[in-house]
Amino acid sequence: MLRATSELEFSNEQNTEEISQLASLVLSGDTSTGEKNSTGLPEKTGYPDSVYIMAANIFQGIRFEKSPEKVLIKYGNEPLRSLPESEDESSQRSSYELAFSALKFQDILEAILIDSCIFPSTTIPDHLSSLIIVMLYDFQDRKFEARFLSDNEEPIAEVQEVENLLNSFKIKLAAALARCRIKHDALSIYHILPETVRNQELRASTLPLYAWINTCKISPEEVYYSLKKRGYNKVKSVLHIDDKVFAVDQHCYDVLIFPSHLKNNLLNIDLFKDYKLIFQDKSRSLAVHSVKALLNMDDDILMVNTGSWYTVAHMSILTNNNTSKIFVCGVKSQAKDPDLKNLFTKMGCKNIEILHEAFLNIESKDHRLQKVKVILLLPRCSGLGVSNPVEFILNEHEDTGLLKDFSQGGTSEDKLHILVQQQYEQLTHAMKFTKAQAVVYCTCSVYPEENEGVVKKALEFQDHGIKVQPYRLSPPVLPLCSLKEIHLSTDKFFRMEPSEITNGCFLSVLTRERDPSEAVSVKDVLARAAAKGLLDGIELGKASKREKKKKKSKIPLSRAPTNDSNDIQMKIAEFLNRESNANANRSETLATKTSLPQKNTTTAGSSSQVRKPNKPTSNPLVPTFMKNTAQPRPYERQTNFVRSRPEDRVMALKPVEIVLPPVMLPFSGSQGIKSQIPTQHFYYRWVGPKTVMPNYFPSPSISRRGEKPRENLPSSLLRHPRPWL
């Protein structure tokens, strides 16, 4: 297939080209290469033949088409034959990664094929052009080394033909690649990519791994113990750590974080093989935890555009202890049902029901969805907030055409407008479900048009004609763990910007107040609690009868209990009756006490009471006529206290000492008088005349502070003529 003149042209440059290929003909932009370098694994040795075929078919569907005057290589329209058994998860991921890498360098790879004279000098069918592009990318990524062939692999004729062609042009291809790097003044063709794409690739190679715990199979403590036995240490942060460590996420208690270089090791342990730990992007865990925070025990959930089935499984695991049911809509093919049921069975999920209708075709009054209270909407978006587009396409999106946008570092205006319109239609349709009380809207986009733009527009133009409460924007139900998160959530949206520790995420919670006509009564709440075994030993029926009788007669039940539940209920009724009587006695006591501020009390002899004796003591400052008139009242109060319990009398007398204020303050020498209260001179020098004004009588608190008052004082004692001076 080679021309002799072409071989002679390159014979003089062979030594220079060999040095060039050994020096720096390594593409560092491939994600698998970044992982390989960080783990110190040997250089790549190629893919199986089936992966090349699948990658060629994917590239054929997503490649950039050029105008006729700029076409350098013609591509056929027929897909290559692929083996059915080759479409396992690992092979599919490798095929998408290889096709996406070839797409990013499509222009460069085509230029190398032209410069090396493979095109148009060789007679290769057009339908093999896509296969040549993807295999050329892998060939230069291996530094033009031979591919390792497995003995168990079945060779494919088309792959063998293209591989032989590339090996025969190895020197020319290396020289063309070196000239391309020199032309762009780049250390490698990776540096020719746009800056946004390079940053995305760099984050993808270092982004930590997130995995949630399947609590139906294992508890978090058991996971920690199992990882510790395997040499993994628990730390607060996994950034910039090359050891075997893990950390617990701050937003989701059941999510663990691992360094990126440990992925291959983790996939081989039983925790991941047995679906006890599941790798998934953190944004999906944030979404399901937001839904969980809004649920009651028996609320159903409707999930729209779930993408990865692991998201559905995570939602099921979180609601395992509830009676909630999870409806998943949008599953187009019923042929997937057996595989999905098998997956959910392995993971321990039991409350999932699949709906094959598209979401927009489901009526809001569908009888199956009458108990749906929360709708989780994960709309298809541009996904420009994620670092690994292949994982995003495989797990969260079916549109492989978005790989074009990822390869260019942005989305075109036309495509963005189409996505925004679809998101708006789905959100407004979700808000039409009259029984639903909340909608959780989550994307992986960094474009405001897809995030707050859609939410604000839907809130502004929501239908107020239906007889339900309108939706409103609610604050995030997730914890805000840093000042940056608080700042980004000031407008009630939860945002996470793309960084070295996480992908971008936007989350909004729309809620509305429950319809007052549908308010849940106390009886319904108790019935639900009894159905779940939360009210063991208490019968709800007899309790409701007692409430009806109480409303009619206002008399507590005196019927003897017949079982344990009646005994508990009777004790509760007696306690409430006793408390109400005690409160009445306390109010009566306090009113009587405040009406008699001049009454003198001392400590009683009984150890079980702290109330004062009924017999009043003589006070030299109190006139005789006041003693005679105030004496009978303590006996009246005594009868009141006899009817009450001792503990009631104790509590009623406590505020008396606080309420009664000192009455000697109006005297000019009040400070001196207070200092002389403990002395006997106080009682002989300051006895007022019988005509003294009652307003100046000392309070009982002052007499208690002094010494014991003397009784039967003589009338000839020295008196101050004007005690108010």
Q: At what angle do helices 389-396 and 89-104 cross, to 10 degrees?
A: 130
Q: At what angle do helices 157-168 and 129-141 cross, to 10 degrees?
A: 60
Q: Which of 209, 251, 248 is nearest to 482 (CA)?
A: 251
Which two tokens mark 477? Answer: 């139900």
3-state SS record for 431-463: CCCCCCCEEEEEECCCCCCCCHHHHHHHHHCCC
CA-CA distance, 133 to 57, in Å (whole number)? Answer: 11
Q: Which of 507, 498, 405, 506 is nearest to 204 (CA)?
A: 498
CA angle 306, 312, 318 (to 5 degrees): 135
User: What are the start-end ranges of the H helices in 210-362?
Assistant: 220-229, 263-267, 270-273, 282-292, 309-318, 337-347
Q: Which of 418, 424, 435, 427 is nearest to 368 (CA)?
A: 435
β-sheet with 245-248: strand ranges across: 233-234, 245-248, 255-258, 209-213, 277-279
Q: Is 204 helix (H, G, I), strand (E, B) or coil?
A: helix
Active-site annotation holds for 444: yes
Task: Kindly give the pairing relationship between strand 372-377 and strand 438-443.
Answer: parallel
Q: Which of 489, 529, 378 is nearest to 439 (CA)?
A: 378
Q: Which of 136, 161, 153, 162 is nearest to 83 (CA)?
A: 153
DSSP letter string over 114-173? HHTT-TTTS---GGGHHHHHHHHHHHHHTTTPPPP--TTSPP-HHHHHHHHHHHHTHHHH
Sort residue 157 into left (φ over 0), alpha (ψ -120 to 50) or beta.
alpha
CB 306 within 8 A of CB 442: no
Of all helices (H) and strands (E), which one includes residue 682? helix 681-685
Residues paired with 303 in a beta bridge: 328, 376
Which of these is catalytic: 117, 442, 444, 505? 444
Dihedral, CA atoms, 460, 465, 468, 469, nearest 10 degrees? Answer: 30
What are the percentages of helix, strand and coil residues in the chain, rounded to 5? 50, 10, 45
Count of H-run helices and E-run strands, the chain: 31, 13
**399: Cβ contacts below 8 Å, ≥ 6 apart:** 380, 393
Q: List b or e across 445-460, with b for residues whose CB sees 16 or more CB atoms inside 10 angstroms.
A: bbbebbbbebbebbbe
Residues with active-site annotation: 444
